[in-house]
Amino acid sequence: MRLSVLLLLALVGCPLPMPRPTPPDGPSEPFPRPPTEGVSLAHAPDLRAFLKAPSRTPYVIEALGVGGRSVSIRLTNTGARSVDFGRFRIAFTAAREGVSFLCKEHVGGSVKDREPTSLAARQSFVFERDLDCTMPLPGRYDVGVYVALRDGSQNDRGDFVGAFSLDVVEGNLAPRPYPSRPGLYVVMTGSRATRPLPPEAWTRGDYHVVVAVVNGSSRPVPVGQARLAFLTYKKGSPLPCSGQAEAVAFPEELAPGSVHVIQAPVACAPSEEGRYEIVGRLTLNDVGEEVEIGRVALKVTRDPLLFAPEPWPSWGDRPATSWTK
């Protein structure tokens, strides 16, 4: 069965992470709060931008971060004449404890949204954009917001219009630190339901989990070759099914703020309908320390109502992926 993930995982293939945002007046001071009268855009002084953003959101294990949060910019023409612009875009930067994480370079609106390309005198419009940043660890993120009115160079984020702090709140499920690798975090997630599958389907990965390693530190962290093992418990039975540990390959080293994702078939397969818990355990070969990296509550059922078409992009046919600098 294919595993779907939320919007954050759609960042795969995007450009490299941008550096930690710098306040317009220099790197030594924190971000200035946008004034209540808004921020005048350098490329269109009659236009003022007013930022509205969330301050708190739960960590979503299926998204490996934040899912479904948005930021609003109210753009107001304070002048006496109409102002034309091409395409309104927002760019984000995000940092946690001084470490930058990947954001999509420019976030445009949905093709089905009818947004203006000009504002008459004294007219306003609210533009809303998904917070399209990788936030793979709980904690406080400093998010910078930039506005561009026309297509520019890849490195031109546009006008800085403000910043906000977002607390990503840890729940029961979140990445776990790998004790002997300071700064390295590991997490496992997977779909919570599947149809009964024959042994050969389990072996070829018709049901699989996603395993991610994250460098939350400001220095590179070695990872390399590893072994992944599963224990599968059926509800009501104290004895697990124990599969043989399989070799998995991660990058030799993860840069600060980088994430690497792999898929792994669960070879220790549930044999019949019921409720199961899959426990993942990972060992880095050069360390030899086995740690638990997550638990997936899995329901094996023939109920057709649980298998509607999936709304999010599937990871079923994707290779191992890195979000790196």
Q: What is the reported pTM?
A: 0.79
Amino acid identity, position 32:
P
Residues of the chain above pLDDT 90, percent = 50
* Confidence category of residue 51, pLDDT binned at 50, 70, 90: very high
Within this chain, do residues 200 and 315 fall inside the same structural domain, yes or no? yes
Residue 286 within any structural domain of the chain? yes
Residue 17 within any structural domain of the chain? yes
Q: Could you tell me if 136 and 170 are in contact, meaning their C-beta atoms sit under 8 angstroms apart?
A: no
pLDDT value for 207: 86
Within this chain, do residues 75 and 98 fall inside the same structural domain, yes or no? yes
Of 169, 188, 215, which residue sits at a domain end? 169
Q: For residue 10, give the 3-state DSSP assignment.
A: helix
- What is the domain extent for residue 244? 176-323
Strand partners, 89: 148
Query: 99: part of which helix (H) or strand (E)?
Result: strand 99-101
Q: Please state the rounded mean pLDDT for residues 278-306.
A: 89
pLDDT value for 239: 74
Within this chain, do residues 194 and 313 fall inside the same structural domain, yes or no? yes
Query: Checking DSSP bridges between strand 321-323 and strand 259-265, what pairing results, if any?
Result: antiparallel
* The pLDDT of residue 309 is above 70: no
* Confidence category of residue 243, pLDDT binned at 50, 70, 90: confident
Residue 123's alpha-carbon distances to 91, 120, 243, in angstroms, are 23, 5, 64
Of 153, 169, 185, which residue sits at a domain end? 169
Residue 307 within any structural domain of the chain? yes
Within this chain, do residues 99 and 49 fall inside the same structural domain, yes or no? yes
Within this chain, do residues 119 and 33 fall inside the same structural domain, yes or no? yes
Within this chain, do residues 183 and 150 fall inside the same structural domain, yes or no? no
- Tokens 């109409």 locate to 82
Q: In sequence order, which ranges of 188-315 are alpha helices (DSSP H)?
A: 199-203
Query: How does pLDDT run across 140-172, given as a tens digit for each residue?
Result: 999 999 998 876 545 578 899 999 999 999 988
Q: In sequence order, which ranges of the chain are alpha helices (DSSP H)?
A: 199-203
Q: Walk across the sheet containing 44-52 and list its strands.
A: 39-41, 44-52, 70-77, 124-130
Distance linking the first and last C-alpha atoms of the chain: 32
Within this chain, do residues 75 and 180 fall inside the same structural domain, yes or no? no
* Confidence category of residue 291, pLDDT binned at 50, 70, 90: very high
CA atoms of 53 and 31, how far apart (whole Å): 15
* The pLDDT of residue 314 is above 50: no
